[in-house]
Structure 1
Amino acid sequence: MTDTVSYAQGQALQVLSFEVGAQTYCVPVSAVREIRGVTPPTPLPEAPPYVRGVINLRGQVMPVIDLSWRLGKGAAQDGARQVIIVVENHDDVAGLLVDAVCDSFTVEAEHINAPPALGDGEDSPLVAAVITSGEGDMTVLLAVSRILPERQQALAA
């Protein structure tokens, strides 16, 4: 297992797929805590532009990430099918604002491919893998650990 991939290589993976713009992405089901309706977030000063703000989820304050913006596609357009997918990575919890949830399914190991190098020998930091299907379709598996805002390290006293 690598830092950007949250599954055991060589094993099947259950994923949740969703739409952002015209493209379908997915994350491992093991990283999904819940799916909820859109709640208007409270903006935070000096937050990264892809963080719409924070919401209170049963006593836990968490950021809401505009996944369209985070993926470089510009701000998401409000829509009736939009939802927030609450994901967790270790102790970090965040909501991913997506256009619509599609499906949950299991992907066999032979259909999970390493992301291609995009120039200068580097992979896309937000992509964990590319999932192929028998019909030739491809779905991008996102690296949840890389999508969440990075925590600032506390300065030593």
Structure 2
Amino acid sequence: MASYDNVVVVQFEISGVQYALDIQIAREIVEMIPITPVPMAPKHIAGIINLRGEITNILNLNYLMGLPVHTDSENKKIIVLVPEAANGSNVGLIVDDVMSVLQVSEDDIDKMDESISKEAYVKGVIKSGKDSSGNKALIIWIDITKILFDILKETHDA
């Protein structure tokens, strides 16, 4: 069983649910900019952007995780990942909003059952702060590198 000591994550929101990913794979967070669609691309590929001279593939995280897509783009952001997270490609993820960067202690992380986490791409559930009913808020800590690996593998195998 992995030990997490203090984990640092980027907390973001999709469809009203709080998620997190490892800070080490996030290169930067940028405001939403116009995205050029790619013809005949799968639904999870929103398109491409020119980010300071680098062509960056933009993925719609809602589609990747099977969540409803909201067109309200008021607070949408793009989390640009380090190239190592996507097999050397420049990749950004569209999220509804970025909340904060959190340092989380191991005591505030519940590990998922291994059989569930393999299918759901979930590393664990982070209990942080308080929700509206006074309980600790739950943040789903996703394994974005595994999601990207599986998507790239499916695309390559197709």
Assess same fold via TM > 0.5.
yes
Paired residue for 1:126? 121
In the alignment, residue 124 of structure 2 is paired with which amino acid?
A: A
Paired residue for 1:141? 141
CA separation in 2, counterparts of 1:126 and 1:136? 22
Shift of 1:136: 2.8
The structure where helix makes up a greater share of residues is: 2
- Does residue 15 (structure 1) correspond to residue 5 (structure 2)? The answer is no
CA separation in 2, counterparts of 1:89 and 1:137? 31
CA separation in 2, counterparts of 1:145 and 1:93? 13
CA separation in 2, counterparts of 1:109 and 1:130? 11
TM-score where L is the length of structure 1: 0.79
Shift of 1:18: 1.0
Paired residue for 1:113? 110
Alignment of 1:20-99 (within 5 A): 20-88=14-82, 90=84, 91-99=88-96
Q: % of aligned pairs identical?
A: 28
Report the aligned-residue RMSD.
2.4
8 Å CA contact retained: 2:15, 2:69: no
Residues 92 and 113 (structure 1 numbering): CA distance in 2 closer, same or farther, change over 3 Å? farther
The DSSP-based 3-state class of the residue aligned with 1:92 is coil
CA separation in 2, counterparts of 1:47 and 1:65? 11
TM-score where L is the length of structure 2: 0.78
Paired residue for 1:150? 152
8 Å CA contact retained: 1:66, 1:76: no
In the alignment, residue 61 of structure 1 is paired with which amino acid?
A: I
8 Å CA contact retained: 2:15, 2:68: no
Shift of 1:85: 1.0
CA separation in 1, counterparts of 2:67 and 2:113? 20
